[in-house]
Structure 1
Amino acid sequence: MRCGGDVDVDGDGDVFPSTPGKLKTWSGGSSAISRHHVGVVHRCFASTSTLFLWALLLVALTASYLSFAGLVDTSSRYLLLSASRARGGGGGGWERRVGESARPGAHRGARGLSVLVTGAAGFVGSHAALALRRRGDGVVGVDNFNAYYDPSLKRARGALLASHGVFVAEGDVADPGLLARLFGAAPFTHVLHLAAQAGVRYAMENPSSYVHSNVAALVALLEACRGAEPRPALVWASSSSVYGLNEKVPFAESDPTDRPASLYAATKKAGEAITHAYSHIYGISVTGLRFFTVYGPWGRPDMAYFAFTRNILQGKPITVYRGRGGVDLARDFTYIDDVVRGCLAALDTARRGERGPAQYRIYNLGNTAPVTVPRLVYLLEKHLGVRARRRVVDMPGNGDVPFTHADVARARADLGYRPRTNLDAGLKKFVKWYLSYYGYSSSSSSSSSGGRVVGGGAAAATTTTMTTTENKQQQQQQQQKQNRGLR
């Protein structure tokens, strides 16, 4: 799996998730030093030196991986570059398009940013790139348009960005050659790194894709930032999944993150250690954002709310997981617009090119109001006007966690972050987009959906069903979809 795709908006892509490796302290002694002094030394180095050494080890291993990948993939990389050039991605024209897209609007003046957005055809990436462009910042995207989920949705997002003047380069973020061309074509002031391999269950079958996309690609990007002039500030997507098996709520940035519940979570925690090492050694400004279950229009089809909507409309049963003892799972669902505002605030407050210690920050971006999965289903039923067919089962041991709850006090104080959209209002907007994008029409009969009409108002009077000519309509409406704005 090549990196450049969607960021996991919380780690619980497949219907729900969550964090990283426990660091071990060294042990030893000396006849010249008392056991008391040895204990003091151990404690002093446990929290700093060990973290630092493990981060360096991760960097070394990743560098070895990149070197090996470079040796075995050289021929295929040249083939990919040739194919890119055949599509108009090579030569001076490619660099010119990157430079033009990266240039801020004149009205932004000195405040204008030039931002490289990785995972730009993904859910959060496309929204963030468009928000930056709309306010006049220069934006260049990069994405690999992989097939982790329906690539046509990613293509539609990419076409939408193109219609707003955002150039999206197609390629692997872990490819140093591609990054060198991008950084050589434009003096980026900031990098918004949202590309990642998402999902919890997928990691059980494809672990190497997570190492490549979430660790190796991050190191490649940090290396590109280190060698760039001017050196850009990095804002990147970590995940609420780093809190893992932590039972203290709400989750605060200072809470322990040494008990990962999934490989995805472990790679995100590794990313936090690696970015800290690069910030400390090379003076790169780094801001990590721990997203909490992001949802909304143009979302990811593998996310629970998206899959529930699809199955409800098609009359298929939905699988609702419950925790130990029959406890309902709960998530801190965060609307996409709130997360994007947090991303832009992090970019705007990122300091770069200053003397002294490099800026290193970690923030939670959540809604601070966890909602149970049964409540999520009820709200979808209300806005769809269809009763869901539930299949309630115990949560499998796949890395999911029973709940998430964000403490956003730090983000509120430093970034002015204040979530504005509750789950009811956000799902209403998502459902409106979903019905439009996938070509659904209203019918006065609910029989075709296999459900009963619920809710009030217009939703109670109709049942939304997929038309029998869905595939033909989707093909005919593809161009129209690409021109729609992110709402």
Structure 2
Amino acid sequence: MKIMVTGSAGFIGAALTEKLLKRGDEVIGVDNLNDYYDVNLKRARLARFQTNPAFTEVPIGLENREALRAIFAKYRPQRVVNLAAQAGVRYSLENPYAYMDSNLYGFLNILENCRHYQVEHLVFASSSSVYGANTKMPYAVQDNVDHPLSLYAASKKANELMAHTYSHLYRLPTTGLRFFTVYGPWGRPDMALFKFTRNILAGKPIEVYNYGHHQRDFTYIDDIVEGVTRTLDRLPAPNANWNGATPEPNTSSAPYRIYNIGNHQPVELGKFIKILEECLGREAKKNLLPLQPGDVPATYADVDDLIQDMEFYPATPIEEGIARFVAWYKNYHKVR
């Protein structure tokens, strides 16, 4: 297939692009290579497949309406995976406008082009952060998600609503994927595993929020990519049993679906750090801090729908995933 991947230089986008190219797809990679974090890392990710003749690199941002329209008109992708977004819960407290430009206006441009250029299927990244103030565990896609705790989470909830509107009005098949704390090789430097590893190796203290009592459903990058690929290949169908009197939020009378992709095994941050210390052979100096504004104390994914529809269950053990990340980090940064 001819597939457009936005955010193709990002953590998940690059891993997905590599997988799609290996299986024989043609990929149009859209990424503006912004400096939210180290651009050299983004370029290094791209270097893994940049010379593949089936890959086309397009260095634009989603908010550039005319440039994006021209790319759709030129390449006519059959399917689109939208992973480009301004990421980060904590950064949304500092720079809220960045989230509006990319996550809302940019996503509208994606929807409009998918509509006008007859895209077969749009898969888009949502986030576990949409569950916000919910306390019922595990988080299920049937749950109400009307109480986000950060602007980032609100922008992802908005994406789900916008996608449903286009599925309803224009019968555009859309699938939203709520990712749960993705980690692994080539990860983002602003995320905990990367920051912890860097500081521990440098002998610097790590900032441990909620005094280490956070619980996160850490999900390994390969499991995320497998989940994205399987949903991309399976077009959502309208739910014939959907009832407006008792509406299911994860399905619709339109061709629209929402799935969780998580490891279904939440790990306390203290244990996460202990495993990392064992892999590094060093003990961390910890600066214990309270819960940050916008953060939630725990995440835990119910993945029953993903298992039922995609016959897939993310299951990489945290010990294995952290060990792989540490091996990659040491090799990438030439650390002994």
Report if TM-score (shorter chain) is over 0.5: yes
Match of 2:260 in 1: 364
Structure 1 residue 328 corresponds to structure 2 residue 213: yes
Shift of 1:204: 1.3
Match of 2:105 in 1: 216
Separation of aligned partners in 1, 2:263 and 2:183:
11
TM alignment of 1:468-487, pairs within 5 A:
none
The answer on whether the counterparts of 1:295 and 1:335 sit within 8 Å (CA) in structure 2 is yes
Aligned partner of residue 236 in structure 1, secondary structure: strand
For the pair 1:175 / 2:64, whether they are aligned, the reply is yes
Unaligned runs of 5+ residues in structure 1 are 1-112, 442-487
Q: For residue 309 of structure 2, what is the aligned residue in structure 1?
A: 414
Tell me if structure 2 keeps the 8 A contact 1:283–1:357: no
Q: Which structure 2 residues correspond to residues 31-110 of structure 1 after superposition, within 5 A?
A: none
Shift in Å at residue 162 of structure 1?
A: 0.5
TM-score norm. by structure 1 comes to 0.64
Alpha-carbon shift at residue 415 of structure 1 (Å):
1.2
Task: For residue 357 of structure 1, report the CA deviation from its aligned partner.
Answer: 5.7
CA distance in 2 between partners of 1:414 and 1:164 (Å): 32
CA contact (8 A) 1:176 1:224 kept: no
d(CA) in 2 for partners of 1:247 and 1:194?
Answer: 27
Comparing 263-272 and 343-352, the one that deviates more: 343-352
Residue 187 of structure 1, CA deviation:
2.5
Shift >4 Å, 4+ stretches:
none
**Cα RMSD between the aligned structures?**
1.4
- The letter of the residue matching 2:282 is V
Do 2:33 and 2:42's aligned partners in 1 also have CA atoms closer than 8 Å? Answer: yes
Partner residue in 1 for 2:223: 338
Show the counterpart of 2:246: none
Match of 2:334 in 1: 439
Asked if the contact 2:174–2:236 (Cα under 8 Å) also holds between the matched residues in 1, the reply is no
Residues 408-453 of structure 1, C-alpha deviation per residue, up to 9 Å, x if partnerless?
0001101112113111000010000000001112xxxxxxxxxxxx
Aligned length: 321
Are the aligned partners of 1:124 and 1:340 in contact in 2 as well (CA < 8 Å)? yes
Counterpart check, 1:377 vs 2:279: no
Mapped pair 1:402 → 2:287? no
SS at match of 1:259: coil
89, 95, 98: which is aligned to 1:200? 89
> How far apart are 1:231 and its partner, in Å?
2.7
- 1:238 partner SS: strand
**Structure 1 position 241 matched with structure 2 position 136:** no
The structural deviation recorded for 1:343 is 0.2
State the SS of the aligned residue for 2:313.
Answer: coil
Partner of 1:153: 41
Partners of 2:314 and 2:81 in 1: how far apart? 20
Give the letter for the 1:385 counterpart. G
- Tell me, yes or no, if the aligned pair for 1:215 and 1:271 is still in contact at 8 Å: yes
Alignment match, 2:4 = 116
AA aligned to 1:363 is Y
Instruction: Report the Cα distance in structure 2 between the residues aligned to 1:204 and 1:127, rounded to whole angstroms.
Output: 28
1:95 matched to which residue of 2?
none
C-alpha deviation, 1:183, in angstroms = 1.4
1:327/1:175 CA distance change after superposition, 3 Å: closer
SS at structure 2 position matched to 1:161: coil
| 1:154-181 deviation digits (Å, cap 9, x = unpaired) | 1111222203332221011121222222
Q: Does 1:259 align with 2:147?
A: yes
2-side partners of 1:168 and 1:220: how far apart? 19
Q: Give the Cα separation in 2 of the matches to 1:177 and 1:143.
A: 15
CA 1:114/1:357 → structure 2, altered by over 3 Å: closer, same or farther? farther
CA distance in 2, matches of 1:220, 1:248: 35
Trace 1:292-311 onto structure 2 (pairs within 5 A).
292-311=180-199
Quote the residue 1:430 is aligned against.
Answer: 325
TM-aligned CA deviation for residue 395 of structure 1: 1.3
Q: 5+ residue gaps in structure 2?
A: 238-251
Task: Identify the residue that residue 173 of structure 2 maps to in structure 1.
Answer: 285
CA contact (8 A) 2:164 2:254 kept: no
